[in-house]
Structure 1
Amino acid sequence: MTTNEDQEMELEALRSIYEGDECFKEITPVSFQFRIGDLEDSKAFILDISWPELYPEISPQITLDAFFNNRIGAETKQLILSKLEEQVEANLGTAMIYTLFEWAKENQEALMENHKPVVTALTLASSGDVKTAKKKERKEQLSKSQKRKITNRTDNKGEMPRGWDWIDVIKVRTVSFDHSCFL
């Protein structure tokens, strides 16, 4: 079989195996993501694997650059990548994406045993345990003319005078009376 035929067969197999699996995502026909662990699990991570043109004769490109992995330290990422490279070397020349995903799932605890979550501003803001600073309440920005109108309507305490919103009954009666004369 040629390299392209091997890739097509493996792609078809991956699509059928992981159909409906929320952990698997096909980015392109040669690039895949697989989440190891639950979303809420602090030891979960996402593997990005891409096929070079001559795959499976040469190693796939494996990265942990997904934004989801920002909470994982560099040492832990390096350990995961080195252990996966060992698996790649053992399976070189054969279709191995499924094997790599499953191996990572089975060995998640061992890969993440020394994991210490990286604390970032995003982590602090999203965690429920950390008290976040309250946002200062923004006052409405008024123009000079709006401020002038408010000061002209209010007394020295900043309050509206008594009856400012009352209807002028005499004007209303006068206007209605004047209209009735013309009928």
Structure 2
Amino acid sequence: MTAQEDQEMELEALRSIYEGDDCFKEISPVSFQFRIGNLEDTKSFILDVSWPETYPETAPQLSLDAFFNNKMSPDTKQFVLSKMEEQIEANLGTSMMYTLFEWAKDNHEFLMENHKPVLQALTLASNSDPTVTNPAKKKEKKEQLSKAQKRRIVNRTDNKGELPRGWNWVDVIKQLSKTGGKDED
């Protein structure tokens, strides 16, 4: 049997086994993603697998570079990939995708036992840039009002804190009287 025929048979088997399973995603006939763990679990990850032309005689290519895995530390990624590589070496020459996925599901706790989520913060500028100030450190002081000033503000507003309609009409009329109205021709 040729590598192409083996791949077609395995692809058909994977499609029938994982039909309706949202953990399995076929990107192309030779590229797959499989989620290990629940979506809500911080220890879950997505395993990307691609078949070279000569698969299953040569090892599939594994990757943990999916955006879903951005909270995994590089050490954890390396550990998971090394353990998956051991499984690939043990199954080389046979159709192994189902075996790999099921082994990863069964050993999920072992693979992620040393996992500590990476907290990534977006930084727009480096800390050495003196022109950037940290808004969290510097708080603006609010103007201190006296009791009389606070009382006047409360008396001018309604129960919702809004000024009543027409509160500044006197100022508008005063301004118009100073500037004059339209010139009539």
> Would the TM-score normalized by the shorter structure come out above 0.5?
yes
> 1:160 matched to which residue of 2?
168
| 1:160 CA displacement | 3.1
CA distance in 2, matches of 1:24, 1:3: 23
* 1:26 match: secondary structure: strand
| 1:53 CA displacement | 0.4
> 1:120 matched to which residue of 2?
120
> 1:178 matched to which residue of 2?
none
| 1:121 CA displacement | 2.6
CA distance in 2, matches of 1:121, 1:109: 27
CA distance in 2, matches of 1:90, 1:74: 25
CA distance in 1, matches of 2:4, 2:18: 21
CA distance in 2, matches of 1:85, 1:72: 18
Residue by residue, what CA displacement relative to the aligned partner does 1:38-88 show, whole Å, maximum 9, x if unpaired? 000010000000000000000000000000000000000000000000000
CA distance in 2, matches of 1:65, 1:117: 15
Structure with more helix by fraction = 1
| 1:113 CA displacement | 0.3
> 1:35 matched to which residue of 2?
35
Letter in 2 for 1:47: L
> 2:67 matched to which residue of 1?
67
Within a 5 Å distance, the mapping from 1:28-177 to structure 2 comes to 28-121=28-121, 160-161=168-169
**Identity in percent:** 73
The CA RMSD over aligned residues, in Å, is: 1.6
Count of residues in correspondence between the two structures: 129
CA distance in 2, matches of 1:120, 1:2: 46
Residue by residue, what CA displacement relative to the aligned partner does 1:107-153 show, whole Å, maximum 9, x if unpaired? 0000000000000137xxxxxxxxxx8xxxxxxxxxxxxxxxxxxxx
Structure 1 gap ranges (5+): 123-132, 134-158, 165-183
CA distance in 2, matches of 1:161, 1:14: 76
CA distance in 1, matches of 2:114, 2:107: 13
Letter in 2 for 1:87: Q
CA distance in 1, matches of 2:75, 2:120: 17
* 1:121 match: secondary structure: coil
* 2:49 match: secondary structure: strand
Structure 2 gap ranges (5+): 123-135, 137-166, 173-185
CA distance in 2, matches of 1:90, 1:75: 23
Letter in 2 for 1:34: F
